Chains A and B, each alone.
Chain A
Amino acid sequence: QKEVEQDPGPLSVPEGAIVSLNCTYSNSAFQYFMWYRQYSRKGPELLMYTYSSGNKEDGRFTAQVDKSSKYISLFIRDSQPSDSATYLCAISGGSYIPTFGRGTSLIVHP
């Protein structure tokens, strides 16, 4: 079992939909949780960063962490075509070395 599991998709939704992206992880020592967004032919860029369980909101984006279930989610409200990208979860135990999921490809069509 990989340390971080993420469905590669693609996930195709209409503009304005609520998007839910998810990852599961196996190591209970992980304590830092991140979401990166990667546009085509670009490097990943940090989108959300959280340390604890619970929710963290930033505009249309909400990151949710459930440590008891080892499950993290990223919700995108009112999705836009410009949100079309690959979203990678990344999880770390504090060693500065995050473990990345494979990424989920999201397509938001007008």
Chain B
Amino acid sequence: DAGVIQSPRHEVTEMGQEVTLRCKPISGHDYLFWYRQTMMRGLELLIYFNNNVPIDDSGMPEDRFSAKMPNASFSTLKIQPSEPRDSAVYFCASTGTNGGEKLFFGSGTQLSVL
């Protein structure tokens, strides 16, 4: 398996623009997580899905952030409009019910909002 695949690896955009981050989880995994990592706050859970259904989005900072999982092999995290304070590394991770808490992370998307 290729692991968790995220795209793009880097995104540079201007304030006010829409940003879409993409994730393909490991085949067979039924949990998908979106995290944001910054130096100040570390790794923060934004939202997670189980069987494509959003379970807990309490970590999403505000209404500008939205996430979808239309099928078991694809998820998106959208920021509209983007702001400079959204600059961070965004990680997607997945795990299976039998895998417990052993999360598998993608390589992340480095987002810079100018």
Contacts and interface: CB of A to CB of B under 8 A. Distances in A.
A43 B95 contact: no
B101 interface: yes
B34 interface: no
Nearest to A33: B101
A34 interface: yes
Interface residues of B, number: 22
B51 to A, nearest CB: 12
B43 A43 contact: no
B102 A43 contact: no
Main secondary structure of the interface of A (DSSP, over half): loop
Nearest to B96: A96
Contacts of A88: 42-43
Given A43-B4, A43-B91, A43-B107, A102 B42 contact: yes
B94 to A, nearest CB: 11
A97 B48 contact: yes
Given A44-B103, A103-B42, 4 more contacts: A34-B101, A43-B105, A96-B101, A97-B48
Interface of A: 32, 34, 41-46, 49, 88, 90, 92, 94, 96-98, 100-103
